[in-house]
Chain A
Amino acid sequence: MSTTVGAHYISEKISKVRWLPEKLQQSERFLTGSWDMDNNFVRVWRLHANPYAQGLEHTPRCNDKVAVEGDVTGLEFLNDDTFAVGCADGHLSLFHVQRAVEEDQIQRKARSERLHEFKCSQTRAPCTAIAVYGTDIATIGEDGRLNVLSANNLKQVKRAIDADSMTLLAVSYVSQHQLVTANRMGVIRMFDVRTAGDGQPKASFMAACQDTKSSNFVSAMATHPMQQHILICGSEEGSITVWDLRNLDYPASYLSAHNSPITDIGFHRQDPSKLFSAAEAGEVWMWSEKKQHFDASQNDGSSAWLCGDRLRTMVNVDGVLTNIRKAVNSFDVHGSRMVCGSDTEAVYIVNDV
């Protein structure tokens, strides 16, 4: 099995990419969101078989685009054809994608009120990330606020918590009622978002850092799809910290990985033995658990990710993309295919990861 990479220049700096969910087949369509352009767009792309095939199986073609008001900072699917877009103007939008034989279409269905603003100057604050659980959408922003909305009614904010007095950079659902947020100092806080709660963090802990005197933000977080108490954080110094949310006294594992800030981190959607991490210097690595460590005698029921120092010997690291030289901002894996969006203004489609 050899991986092949195709680079396609699309004239936009890409901040987010997502495959359209498909249940039974390999997804052929993906979405991109751009940032730092004069006009930013959400686009839907479709892979077409390349007639001049020379190691390059598919070329993407843009089917439809919708202009958004600022940088796209979050893009997540709620169900098969609805997705939420967080935008740097502090609003959240819902889009609908229409799959068609010829040209797929996307349409904006709803837009929230301004969710994030700086209180004193009443100016908009960028929304920095979104997370989705069922029909609930959580947004965080540079104003340190955490909002939870229901996709059924974007006009009303279900729960708003002033979670932090500085920019929150990453958010992730642990369970339906529990969220973790990470801020610019690397402080991770866990919140209960049920309306009855008092909005105080249930727990807060710091990401590990090699040099305690330098700042180290947490820029990406992901929970294990099966074992949701495993929280993986990627940080500014390029290291990965793993937390066992049942035991917050100390991090379960710490891996020094990339040499530049981690931009995105996530498990394979169907195969949780694979973790991917993308970094500012233009790398995407795949961390896969070695199979032999899963025999019953050694395995005490806990995941390899919680094994502390032994973790290094239990995972393989492979470079999926290297030497891109500019930040890979986002990736998504569906089946055996991966799509990455980068500041080189190109999407990279990796086959057979």
Chain B
Amino acid sequence: MSEDTVPQFELGDALAMRCGNTLTGRFVPGGSKIALSAYRPVKWSTRDAPSETAGEGAVLIYMAQETTLYTEPLLRSLLAETNATFATLQALGQGSKGGPKKTIEYIKISRTYRSVIRCCLEKLEQAKKLPEVQENESREQRYTDAIMSFYAIECLWHLFEILYMQQQHSQLIVPQLLEWTRFHYPNTEDHATDLLLMAEEASECDSYWDTLKTLIMLGQLDVTRAILSQNRKSNQPAFQTAEQVLKTMPVYTDGYALQKFCSQWEYWHVDLERKLTAHVFASEPQLELIMHLVSGSNEHWDAALLKSQDWYEFLPGYLLYTRPACKPFELRIAASNWLNRWLGLRPDWEMTQMSRMVMQLMEHDVKLFIYDTQKLNDSHLFATHLIDLIYHTGQLKAYFDQQNVDLSALRNSMIFEYGSFLMTSHNLWQLGIDYLDCCKQEGIAAIELLLPRIPLKSERQAFKIIAMAKERGLVNVEQDICKVLSKRAYSDQRYGSALEWAVRSKDVLLVTAVADFILKHYSSTGVMLCPDVITSIGARMFVSPRLVFLSKYFEFYEFYRQRDFLSGAELLINLLASKITPDYFWPSLLIDALPLLESEDPKIFCKETIAILQHLEMELVPLIERNKLNTAKFNNQTSKTVFQDYRVENVEEILDLMRLACARNLSRAMIIENTAPAT
């Protein structure tokens, strides 16, 4: 947690070094990357000529990206779990407003967040000990960094929870602060456990009195008493008195009158001081020192403080012996006094970011605190979730109003940033989208931009993204993805797949294009592509008239193949009359009619034959004429014509054949139809 240092890195680009060692950079949209490249400054006075380095070397573009802790797979669980808690909180926030019950719920949420971080810390500690991590120095360093950051986060969060999330009526904070220090300075407690296990022999241990002293300063009276009672000399009057003093120290319990507690405590304190001046403990100098600490004697505390690690370590303990009824608003003064005192004792001590943030919390400087949380290298995990929590509890609303901070706007922008970060990195899109969902229109817009940019690796993944888009009503995204996949399949010559994706995209132009390709391919080679897909398109064909035509034509094709000529003929006539036949397909369609017309037993009735003839003259002939014109215009470039197949050259011949066939069939059909069947 170094503070206010700008990260530096070296590029060493050869080209840049030759042309004045300057670089240019710009942000790459849709991510946290910066593109850097060599750059020669150009001013208005620069001569407009190729530079001396032109064409000599390649211009290299470097992509710089902010590193995050989350490259480590282990930390993903932290993101996933906080995401689940975040969602729970949002659901809670949508319920009815206010009430003490809710405050309890919010504290629960806060605790869940903390336990998630704690759990992750535990996993990190375990993983750090694995041989595969120990061997890899940079990885071990990453783990150490992560542990440091998240440890600090948990510590600060805990303090925040104590100071700002409690219900108004339980105003005494000293016991909770003691709990807090106990949590975050566990070493002494470990020593104490060792001492307890050693029982009588403990007093011979070198660190015996030091540990006891620290325990007292951390305010852990029960443990201290337990250890003292195991002392060999515990029967002696000095120890007995000490036990008596520690045991009788008044402890505030909920619902007890505060005034009464204060007077009791005052009485106890005076009593202790009287005992000290009477030298009751003089026979045991170490014990006497401890009792001096308990009485809150300044000179003894000052001496002991020189050994402490950080300024806030013993503050709660000191408060316990001097101002046990301290209220949150009084903490502010107590903390700043304490800090001054501490700085006086340790003038050369440099404040770390962590201790500064603790100070900000204790001095009720939440605005600065939040500013500082954004500097932690956790990619704003802490800041985002904390601000969201603050927003939901509403406890600090008055404070923020007073500070002229628009809390809900701040929350929105933090969540937005965090969500966009997740959406764009490390396959975390499924988590990121939950955050963007909370950002109203801005969030929806971001989702609309970011969802289609997720690299599609498999169709299963594509379906998941489509489902997400569908859930949010983002029809465009859904269609875009389908279109991309359709194009991809098309260029890979998987036409069945391309057609189906096109149908899913509901994009008329695309469907028409794919159907066109299949029809053209058929008319030029006689091979029907992907028959299995066309058969099962069913009612989905109505996306595009061309697809309807393709499906219907395929139906005809199937009848034909199965030699069901009568049904085929009927369908063919319908197709001819349908007006959805594409220009290029007219010859194919009419030629398909030829065998039906010419077959030995007539398949097409008189009326239909006339219809065919009519289409022949009204559709095909003008088409050929138009075509001829075009060909003439383009200097006989036959490849540019509407029909690109072998039938083009002999189109006139085909026309004649068709006319003849129609005439023959017409005559036959007329005879048969007009001859009454023998009854």
Contacts and interface: CB of A to CB of B under 8 A. Distances in A.
Interface of A: 9-13, 35-39, 71, 73, 88, 118-121, 123, 126, 128, 142-144, 164-167, 169, 184-185, 187, 204, 206, 212-215, 217, 219, 236, 260-261, 280, 325-327, 343-346
Interface string B445-466: 0000000000001111101100
B539 interface: yes
A13 B73 CA distance: 11
A345 to B, nearest CB: 4
B532 A164 contact: yes
Contacts of A236: 463
Interface string B477-505: 00000000000010011111100100110
Given A37-B427, A126-B459, A11 B497 contact: no
A260 B679 CA distance: 63
Contacts of B530: 165-166
Interface string B347-373: 000000000000000000000000000
Contacts of B539: 212-213
B536 A9 contact: no
Nearest to B496: A165
A128 B457 CA distance: 12
10 contacts: A37-B73, A71-B460, A88-B457, A123-B492, A143-B494, A165-B530, A165-B533, A167-B459, A206-B536, A344-B83
A345 B494 contact: no
Interface in B522-565: 529-530, 532-533, 536-540, 542
Contacts of B161: none
Contacts of A325: 84, 87, 434
Nearest to A215: B504
A327 B433 CA distance: 14
B74 A215 contact: no
B492 A11 contact: no
B176 interface: no
Contact of A11 (B77, B434, B460, B493): B77
Interface in B420-479: 426-427, 430, 434, 457-461, 463-464, 467, 471
B494 A118 contact: yes
Contacts of B434: 325
Given A213-B540, A214-B540, 13 more contacts: A11-B75, A71-B458, A71-B460, A118-B492, A128-B459, A144-B494, A144-B496, A212-B540, A325-B84, A325-B434, A326-B430, A327-B464, A346-B77
Contact of B84 (A12, A123, A344): A344
Contacts of B495: 165
A325 B91 CA distance: 12
Given A11-B73, A128-B459, A260-B467, A343 B430 contact: yes
B493 A120 contact: yes
Given A11-B74, A215-B540, A120 B461 contact: no
A126 B73 contact: no
A217 to B, nearest CB: 8
B76 interface: yes
Contact of B497 (A167, A215, A346): A167
A126 B538 contact: no
Nearest to B81: A9
Interface of B is mostly: helix
Contacts, number: 122
Contacts of B426: 38
B551 to A, nearest CB: 13
Q: Which 9 A-B pairs have the closest CB atoms?
A: A165-B496, A9-B77, A212-B539, A120-B493, A166-B497, A345-B80, A11-B76, A165-B530, A11-B77
A111 to B, nearest CB: 19
Interface string B68-97: 000001111100110110010000000000
Given A11-B74, A121-B492, A215-B503, A187 B532 contact: yes
A165 B459 contact: no
B118 to A, nearest CB: 13
Nearest to B84: A344
Contact of B463 (A35, A37, A261, A343): A261
Contacts of A143: 494
B500 A215 contact: yes
Nearest to A325: B87
A106 to B, nearest CB: 17
A211 B542 CA distance: 13
B500 A261 contact: no
B427 A13 contact: yes
B427 A38 contact: yes
Interface in B175-203: none
B471 to A, nearest CB: 8
A252 to B, nearest CB: 20
Contacts of A280: 464, 467
B500 A166 contact: yes
A261 B471 CA distance: 11
B540 A142 contact: no
Contacts of B459: 126, 128, 142, 167, 169, 184
A218 B542 CA distance: 22
Contact of B458 (A88, A165, A213, A345): A88
A165 B532 contact: yes
Given A260-B467, A345-B76, A166 B533 contact: yes
Contacts of B497: 144, 165-167, 184
B434 to A, nearest CB: 8
B460 A128 contact: yes
A273 B77 CA distance: 36
Given A37-B73, A73-B460, A9 B80 contact: yes
A123 B488 CA distance: 12
Contact of A142 (B75, B458, B537): B458
Contacts of B471: 260
